[in-house]
Structure 1
Amino acid sequence: MIRYIILYCSTCAVCIIMCYLDLFIDNIDSILQLFLIHFFDFLSWIIVTIGAIKCMPEKSYSNKRVWFYCAAMSGMLAAIKSFVKLIEILDT
């Protein structure tokens, strides 16, 4: 579980760094920068979803399992939303 939390935090940190990429690289295309931001956002939601599925408790009717199920479902919905934003950027 700690492994997925560290991976999620590191991809979120990379996503935040991508917001300030134009300060480090001159004349970077704003569409490329936006694509990288949404790509790492998409990747972070995939990591949350995989982490929730892999760490799901064994007891089928436990309260903890319900919360992991909610985390997996919300992570999938957020990943789909991020993927749609990624496709919209590629269309521009």
Structure 2
Amino acid sequence: MYQTVGHDAVHLVAEAMQLPLYRRVITGLPLNQAAEYGDRMPSPNFSAPTTLTAGSPERDETEDLYELLMMVKRNHPDVEAVSVGAILSNYQRVRVEHV
């Protein structure tokens, strides 16, 4: 799901704009490749996913985006939106909306 083209220069854009940059190594796999991704309404008993470690069950790559956004929210609680370049990809859009 995640593109890597140009990622090696994005820190320069953040620097030039004097904005913080958050990155995360993707450890999950594209397990759920269906057109829909999960429930639209979170369960009342939902807990944040844990980090994938050796010997643990596999997780979907979308959970890495969730964890990254949780880190951003902890450091910037006023953040209310996410902008992505998934203009023509319903696959990516659905997953970002789900997170």
What TM-score do you get using the length of structure 1 for normalisation?
0.30
Specify the structure having the higher radius of gyration (Cα): 1
Higher relative contact order (CA 8 A, sep 6+): 2
User: Which of the pair is proportionally richer in helix?
Assistant: 1
What TM-score do you get using the length of structure 2 for normalisation?
0.29
